[in-house]
Amino acid sequence: MKSFSLIIAASLLLCSCADMVVTRTYNNSTTARSEVDAKDFDGKETVRYTTNCGIGAADPKAIYIRPFCIDDARFRGDQAPSDAENPIRQSLIPVAFAADLKDELGKIAPARILAANEAPKLGWLVEGHFDLVDGGSPLGRFFFGTFGAGQSFLALHVKVIDVVEHRVVYEFDLAGGSRGQGHHGTIRASGLGRATPFDLRNAAERVMLVLTPDVHRYGARSSVTLR
């Protein structure tokens, strides 16, 4: 009975942890290449179309990150110690998120943040924009955080472009936040601290997980057993 109670408690804790999820994926039409073949069908001209058969893009040679646009984002909740500092904190969010993305996407391929006047020549370009940045309420998290009060929230749009083929290979929306966590916080949530940096890191990690095939190696085996 005691072990069963521990399992229930752990499940509730994990369900209330901060996290980011993909809320919408945009389907991009497959780039088709046409070619004329005059050898088939008794010399009659035939047009063939070659596509990638719906296979997802993977294993880029490099990943370039352009700091996300924040011009049209909505801001709510706790962002800085004072209202006068808010514009500074808000303008630095793309810089912080680009650094987080570089750390996380560097697990897939060599990653680099682009300067304003730079353009990549190979690999993937990751860019996007923020829709909502809500720092929540530390006071609300202190008193009723386990019930969802004062929770932070982050919503953004991500676009991944194949630089060589000049096409969007992935495009999706992300959203999430601190959810139900109290004033102590967790390794993924701030508690009484500023929540937005945690949300940015969680979002960057989710982007990496989305773009990695079998990131947790669920299908890996140390030995083969046939029965």
pLDDT tens string 34-92: 444 444 444 444 444 445 677 889 999 999 999 999 999 999 877 777 888 889 999 99
Contact of 49 with 58, CB cutoff 8 Å:
no
Could you give the angle at the alpha carbon of 133 between the alpha carbons of 129 and 134, nearest 5°? 165
Collapsed DSSP state (helix, strand, coil) of residue 60: coil
Residues with Cβ within 8 Å of 196's Cβ and at least 6 positions away in sequence, in order, are 79, 93, 133, 135, 152, 154
pTM for the full predicted model: 0.75
Write down all domains in the chain, each with its CATH number in brackets.
18-210 (3.40.50)
Structure token pair of residue 124: 């993937």
- Which stretches within the chain are classed as H helix? 2-15, 86-91, 93-105, 138-144, 196-210
Band (pLDDT 50/70/90 cuts) for residue 108 is very high
Look at residue 5 in the predicted model and tell me its pLDDT: 43
Residues with Cβ within 8 Å of 10's Cβ and at least 6 positions away in sequence, in order, are none
At which residue do the structure tokens 């897939």 appear?
Answer: 108
